[in-house]
Amino acid sequence: MEKNGRLQTESQTESQTESQHEDDGRGKWSGNLDFLLSCVGYAVSITNIWRFPYLCYKNGGGAFLIPYVIFLVICVLPLIFIEYALGQFSSSGVLTVWKISPLLKGIGYGTLLASAIYCTYVNVIISWVLYFLYQSFTSVLPWSHCNNEWNTINCHDVHNHSSGIQNGTVYDSSFGIQNGTLTSNATKKTASEEFWTHKVLKITDGIENIGGIRLELLICLFIAWLIVFLCLCKGIKSSGKVVYVTVTFPYIVLLIFLVRAVTLPGAIDGIKFMFIPKWNKLLSSQVWGEAALQIFFSTAVGWGGYITFASFNRFNHNLYREAILVPFINGGTSILAGFIAFCILGYMANVKGMQVAEVVDQGPGLAFVAYPEAISTFPVSPLWAVLFFLMMLTLGIDTQFGTIETVHSALVDEYPKLLRNRKTLFMTTICCVGFLSGIPYVMNGGIYILQTVDWYVGLIAPMIAAIMECILIGWIY
């Protein structure tokens, strides 16, 4: 009787606790699939498309995959479970959750600040995607040839090996002739590269020369923030439904590109480059360090998004499935995207008569130079371009959902009396501030600022936050 009474009391206590969490005014996911897809969308981002293939190429192909998978299993998987459990148990955002140790609440503020800065420049990348998407709705892709007003005499058209006239100047695909001066092959740039630098960015020669505002990119930035606002204005109830489209669509496009990529001439060279490891690279600390940085950045550990998403779960939700699925889906997506990228890079090397190692560029270059150049060679290339940049758009928007919801929920939980009944107005304020903060990035020299911020905020800050989380929970709490 005593045992039954104790069990009944514990059951009542659990029921009361769950009821309190249900009535906390924060809202809950409509279903478990909403939560899973939102976490996948948050983790799988544009970085899976361009940063992972570049780092894999730079660090010895298969030799990079080994530490990448090791860090995924022994570091990221348990960290995601910790963040899930912490958010679900506390039903709190990244600020109020640290009431478990008020002395170290600075972790929450650091995470919040990093997420706020991150969302300002991710939307700039989305604005680039929107601009490319707009330019794709044409019969002939503008980055597929050198006969545009922004092209220079050094433009090298890899698809047309005959001479031509460009802007009234004799143009040859192997050498450029202007005013009787012969330019060397070393200064040649592809049509897609000149489109990126001279048309999209109109880039300056350095960060010290910031230039003016790119009006077209400013308009695209506004549209990007408008899309984010419309998807998040109703909170997780609206974003939880949008992810059914934005998460599944990229995988459909990736599978289409996979079928196309493996049939390209020279694709096997890229595949060999990716999977045949250079074993001596494993002796380099740089390979292990960059693998750790990439897996932390790619899976979004330490950003606070998982804590935020899990805080909207039912108190007794079984989160083991998501804690295992999300990191492996993310890692698998990176490897799939890398496989496709190296197939395309092998094809580009075949077309140019170069080594695969000479084709890849770092940072945005892979997504906005190499991919468009390869797509321009496909049959019905505008269709492929539209599909690719729609995929990039959905990947970026998914990540923004989680990042902005992290900032929004953290501040609402911290100041409930002021903000909880003004969620839509507060979301409007966040989007307006984010838009204004993104203006420096869409100036002529804005990409220099973006790459600097991306390195110090995007790569280093989350890893420090994750380490501090482990110390706090494991040795203090």
Each residue of 249-265: pLDDT tens digit? 889 888 988 988 898 88
Q: Which residues, at least 6 apart from 315, have a Cβ–Cβ distance to it below 8 Å?
A: 17, 18, 21, 22, 88, 89, 91
The answer to whether residues 347 and 266 touch, using CB atoms and an 8 Å cutoff, is: yes
C-beta of residue 404 within 8 angstroms of C-beta of residue 228: yes
Lowest mean pLDDT among 36-50, 168-182, 380-394: 168-182
Strand pairing report for 189-190 and 181-182: unpaired
Among the residue ranges 74-83, 98-107, 364-373, 445-454, the one predicted with the least confidence is 364-373
Beta strands 164-166 and 189-190 are unpaired
Residue 326 pLDDT class (50, 70, 90 cuts): very high
Mean pLDDT of 313-340: 89
- CA-CA-CA-CA torsion for 82, 38, 122, 220, nearest 10 degrees? -170
Cα separation, 431 vs 437, whole angstroms: 10
E strand or H helix at 165: strand 164-166
- Counting Cα atoms < 13 Å in the Cβ hemisphere of 230 gives 8
Q: Which residues are annotated as a binding site?
A: 41, 43-44, 48, 298, 330, 395, 398
CA 270-275-280 angle, 5° bins: 115
Q: What is the pTM of this model?
A: 0.82
C-alpha–C-alpha distance, residues 361 and 348, integer Å: 12
pLDDT of residue 238: 57
Q: 348 Cβ partners below 8 Å, 6+ apart? A: 266, 354, 359, 370, 373, 374
Output the CA angle 9-11-15, nearest 5 degrees. Answer: 115
Please report, rounded to a whole number, the percentage of residues in the chain having pLDDT higher than 90. 21
pLDDT digits (tens, 9 = 90+) for 206-237: 888 888 999 999 999 999 999 988 888 766 55
pLDDT at 167: 41
Mean pLDDT for all residues in the chain:
81
Q: In the prediction, which pLDDT does 160 show?
A: 60
Cβ proximity of 253 and 260 under 8 Å: no
- Predicted confidence at residue 280, as pLDDT, reads 83
Which helix H or strand E contains 170, and what residues bound it?
strand 169-171
**pLDDT average, residue stretch 47-53:** 81
Could you say which DSSP state residue 212 is in?
Answer: -
Q: From CA 68, how far away is CA 64, in angstroms rounded?
A: 6
CA–chain centroid gap for 400, Å, is: 9
- Residue 184 in this model has a pLDDT that exceeds 50: no
Position of tokens 């989305």?
126
Where does 29-476 sit in CATH, by number?
Answer: 1.10.4160
In this prediction, residue 25 carries a pLDDT of: 56
| Band of residue 15 on the pLDDT scale cut at 50, 70, 90 | very low
Q: Which amino acid, residue 228?
A: V
Q: For 92-145, what is each residue's pLDDT tens digit?
A: 888 888 888 888 888 888 888 888 998 898 899 999 999 999 999 999 999 988
Residue 166: strand pairing partners: 169
Tens-digit pLDDT profile for residues 193-203 = 889 989 999 98
Please, which pLDDT band fits residue 14 given cuts at 50, 70 and 90?
very low
Average pLDDT over residues 394-405: 85
Highest mean pLDDT (candidates 127-136, 287-296, 373-382, 390-399): 127-136
Where is 181: in which H helix or E strand? Answer: strand 181-182
Give, in order, the Cα–Cα distances in Å from 371 to each of 132, 292, 343, 397. Answer: 12, 26, 11, 20
Look at residue 86 and give its three-state secondary structure.
helix
Which residues contribute to the annotated binding site for Na(+)? 41, 43-44, 48, 298, 330, 395, 398
Of the candidate ranges 80-89, 159-168, 310-319, 380-389, the one whose mean pLDDT is the lowest: 159-168
**What are residue 318's DSSP bridge partners?**
none
pLDDT at 165 over 60: no
